[in-house]
Amino acid sequence: MGFEAVEPEQRQLLQKALEDARLTVPEVWMRYFSIGGAAGEYEVDAYINGSLSLPPLQRDILAHAANELIDQLPARPRAPYCAEVTQRRASGGREQNGRDGENDPSRQHRRNAGED
């Protein structure tokens, strides 16, 4: 089975997402397998490293598994805008909307990434 036109880019973006999130192949494979992925850990590792092709469905299950794990990670601190610092000071340092980042549009965007 050869590589499809989009497969190398999909693999590269998956690899970057895993690196950024500091997720390991065993972690991702375990989630992938638990949600119905059919490839073994060795095959997933080979795919992520660019030496094995996977069918589109398996690639999408793998992407979904990675996205589920990424969504479970705590949000990283964000640089505040002037108005946010002013609002924070006015409230005595407490967040206005509950937990930090809970209503942050970019956090919602990260949750929805890859769910088209």
CA nearest neighbour of 22 among 59, 77, 58, 76: 76
Domain ranges of the chain: 7-72, 82-112
CA dist 33 and 20 (Å) reads 22
pLDDT in tens, 2-51: 567 899 999 999 999 999 999 999 999 999 999 999 999 999 999 999 99
pLDDT in tens, 54-112: 999 999 999 999 999 999 999 888 888 999 999 989 988 765 544 444 444 444 444 44
Number of neighbouring beta carbons within 10 Å of residue 25:
17
